[in-house]
Amino acid sequence: MSVDQDVLIELRDQVISTALPLVEDQTMPAEKRFSMLMTIIEADPSIELLRKAYTVAQTIENSVVRADALLDIVDEIDLLLEATSPEQDTDNVTT
């Protein structure tokens, strides 16, 4: 099956544009809003969305779930930092 990547990217962007306003719905549970934001961030990372995820994570009432959410944001930031940093020569790293 041949897949047109440009068409898929365009569709993904349309879905994200449709989903983002739903995440702003304050009546939705914070855990669900956070989950939706993280899914969107994985598809289309941005600092603005990471900040929104952080804000939403802080409103999660259960402290264990809130801590997991905050660590998920740290993990996503670390992935982005790794993807944007120049490759390092790990053979010459000393401990």
Q: List pLDDT tens digits, range 10-58.
A: 999 999 999 999 998 889 999 999 999 999 999 999 999 999 999 999 9
One-letter amino acid for residue 88 of the chain: Q
pLDDT band at 88 (very low <50, low <70, confident <90, very high): low
* Distance of alpha carbon 64 from alpha carbon 91, whole angstroms: 38
C-alpha dihedral sign at 69, 74, 77, 79:
negative
For residue 92, pLDDT beyond 60: no
Model pTM score: 0.80
Q: Supply the mean pLDDT for the chain.
A: 90
Reported as half-sphere exposure (CB side, CA atoms, 13 A), residue 68 has a value of 10
